[in-house]
Amino acid sequence: MLQPAQIILRPMITEKSTWEAQSRNRYAFEVHQDASKPMIRDAIAKLYNVRVVSVATQNRHGKYRRTKWGTFNSSRPRKAVVELHPDDKLELF
């Protein structure tokens, strides 16, 4: 069983995620590949003491990289977008 700190790897701070956080109260995180939506919901609730309304997940594609030794495929991160209750906010910065 994964612990909450093992499920949530890091917040994804991008221009789009910053806009979503301000306007729609939705936050993006990179999560463990084996984490399910209920596991992500519980981990966010325990780590940040907030109420989670919904969770949307994406399995992203890894990028092909070229080096002088050949090509390889980089890791395939899993992204979770979490919508919080209107009364709750996260301060990630």
Does residue 91 belong to any structural domain of this protein? no
Residue 90 lies in a domain: no
- Does residue 92 form part of some domain? no
pLDDT at 90 over 80: yes
What residue numbers bound the domain in which 59 lies?
4-84
For 20-68, the pLDDT digits (tens) are 999 999 999 999 999 999 999 999 999 999 999 999 999 988 889 999 9
Summarised one tens digit per residue, pLDDT across range 79-89 is 999 999 999 99
Contact 3, 34 (CB under 8 A): no
> Does residue 48 lie within any of the structural domains?
yes
Residue 1 has pLDDT above 90, yes or no: no
Residue 93 counted as domain residue = no
Low-confidence winner among 2-11, 12-21, 68-77 (lowest mean pLDDT): 68-77
Structural domains in the chain (count): 1
Residue 47 in any domain: the answer is yes
DSSP state of 70: E
Looking up residue 80, the CATH number of its domain turns out to be 3.30.70.330
Task: Measure the N-to-C terminal CA separation of the chain; round to a whole number of Å.
Answer: 29
Please give the C-alpha separations between residue 50 and each of 57, 65, 82, in angstroms, as whole numbers: 19, 38, 11
